[in-house]
Structure 1
Amino acid sequence: MELNIEQIMELLPHRPPFLLVDRITDCRPGQSARGIKCVTMNEPFFTGHFPGSPIMPGVLILEALAQTGAVAALSLPENRGKLAIFGGVKQARFKRPVTPGDVLELSCELIEQRGPVGYGRAAARVEGKIACQAELTFVLQDPRP
């Protein structure tokens, strides 16, 4: 299934400027999600990273990947309304810079879940070439009252 920005915001608590997924192009609830982030010079982080040579911070690429994986996890009816909390990163590798004008192609496959803790294999690509890949850990929890 595909999700537009309004549908993504029904699943994720993130809001601009920290919502880093513009569209979900394919989602298999509880299994995987693919999405895109259109990177523009208007992003607030480019003001300081880096003046004259704008590069999307790696931690924000990882966050975009985590948000994509969270869509897959939170799409399951039993997980609706929960928070997907970033729990960890392993084997993160950055292969190329992401700059204004790039379309970041995001994918996350959920590979295992034990209770509320889950693991995903994620990759971000630009024009089909790997920009970043990592293994992500997340924890599903009920939001605080």
Structure 2
Amino acid sequence: MSAASPLGDLELIRTGALGAATAFDARADDPVLDGHYPGFPVLPGVFLIEAADRTVRQWARTHAPAPDGGDVELAAMERCRFHRPVFPGDRVLSDVSVVDSAAGLLFKAVVATNRGKVADMRLRYRVGPAHDQEESTS
């Protein structure tokens, strides 16, 4: 992901055949929090989606049925609901589980802090051959 992401490296908590979990800290000194929202800093929701996506990709490195060393690609976000804000200093856990693998891969993701669930989503991925970074940018 982008170097502008406040997530940094996600800590892998667990991975198995049916899903994975990662964690990160919403750093209080991250500049993205200053502008979102002034006087009431919260982590933008797009970073919760990114955390779930990166957790799925971490899982896929060892468990996806990808042909020829392929990769997974986010095809659709079928559902995304935010329940409460993530504040500076919060520890955030992203937990994803495989729901269906008949037509690609469908994941249920729950993102939480110590105050409870902050977001849930359903993400659909397609499995395909690995893409060269240069090919995907041209």
Which residue of 107, 111, 122 maps to 1:135?
Answer: 122
TM-score scaled by structure 1?
Answer: 0.76
2:13 is equivalent to residue 25 of structure 1: yes
Letter in 1 for 2:24: K
2:89 is equivalent to residue 120 of structure 1: no
Distance 1:126 1:22 in 2: 15
Distance 2:29 2:93 in 1: 19
Of structures 1 and 2, the larger Rg is shown by: 2
Which residue of 85, 88, 94 maps to 2:73?
Answer: 85
Distance 1:69 1:19 in 2: 18
The unaligned stretches of length 5 or more in structure 1 are 1-13
The alpha carbon displacement at 1:140 in A equals 2.9
Q: Check conservation: 2:6, 2:32, Cα contact below 8 A.
A: no
Q: Check conservation: 2:71, 2:131, Cα contact below 8 A.
A: yes
Letter in 2 for 1:58: G
Distance 1:71 1:19 in 2: 18
Match of 2:25 in 1: 38
Q: Check conservation: 1:81, 1:143, Cα contact below 8 A.
A: no
RMSD of aligned residue pairs (Cα, Å): 2.4
The alpha carbon displacement at 1:143 in A equals 1.0
